[in-house]
Amino acid sequence: MVGDFAQFMAQNKLSAQDVLDKAEDLSFPKSVVEFMQGSIGQPHGGFPEPLRSKVCAFIFIIAISIVYNHIIS
């Protein structure tokens, strides 16, 4: 997960502050999302906020969009 996140940041020329500021608009790697959701464990002391909330909100929006598109199709 850490490597995927680092590669994602490098490929998109993102600083740590960019990730925080633009989290709602970024398409994070699946491993990063799963980590932030707690699917592959949790770090000591929990996940960094507000990044975790922003990443998880992004997934919720995608899920709602998929359901909506399925219903209207």
pLDDT tens sequence across 53-70:
888 776 666 666 667 677
Q: Which structural domain, as residue segments, surrounds residue 59?
A: 2-72
Q: Tell whether the model's pLDDT for residue 8 goes beyond 90.
A: yes
Distances (CA, A) of 37 to 6, 52, 53, 62: 18, 8, 9, 14
pLDDT for 2: 79
Higher pLDDT, 73 or 4: 4
Q: How many domains does the chain have?
A: 1
27-47 pLDDT per residue, tens: 888 888 888 887 887 778 887
* Residue 23, domain CATH: 1.10.472.90
Helix (H, G, I), strand (E, B) or coil at 62: helix
Angstrom distance (rounded) from CA 24 to CA 70: 23
Structure tokens at 34: 């799963």
Asked whether the whole model's pTM tops 0.75, one would answer no
